[in-house]
Amino acid sequence: MKCKICKATAVVALRSHNAAFCPDCYLKFFARQVEKGIEGQKLFTRDERILVALSGGKDSLALMLELSRQGYDVTGLHIDLGIPESSPVARGVVERFCAKHGLKLMVKELAQLLYLSPGCISQTGQGLVLEGLVVREPSEKDRRAVSIRMTDKGMERYRYHHDKINGILDHLLRDVSAEDRATFERVLAIVLEEGKKLRAEQAQGAGK
């Protein structure tokens, strides 16, 4: 199998493009595809700041590195889920990768964002597993990591509570006009946003 561009030995085959590439030509091809996608969809410009969510998998890491190489102002965001088996591995991969390539990185812990202890997050996850609502499986993209998938029982439980809550809200607001309901939703959004700001200020104060 030969590279479509330089005819050297190919290491990557793309059926969607009916082509194969050597390492160097593939990197150039990938860079062009990213550039064309951004420009074609008018996603963003080099004057904007871009936040890239980093799971620890190769897709998000490769995207952030390529955006940085193309001159975009990128910062990575990794959410540490606090899962004992996999979160430290994923976080370590992200931190080492960003340090190696000089990429800006923000790491947020789920427990901290929810004002819960890491132990509470871990116990909650284990409880969901024991109840058969979620399962832990080896990640298909990274054998060192563990993925969490909702089971059929978990989806059924989720839909039940989702419909229950929506039913209660509809009952409470049954006599409220559409205009008043829209006003209520706007006020509620403002209150929630102010609450987020207050919690952030409190968290910063506690860290000093």
Phi/psi of residue 76, nearest 5 degrees: -90, 145
The pLDDT value recorded for residue 208 is 53
**Structure tokens of 100?**
């190696």
| pLDDT tens-digit map of 111-142 | 777 767 767 777 887 888 899 999 888 777 66
Average pLDDT over residues 99-118: 85
Q: What pTM was computed for the model?
A: 0.61
Strands 104-109 and 73-80: parallel
Nearest Cα residue to 101 out of 63, 68, 77, 79:
68
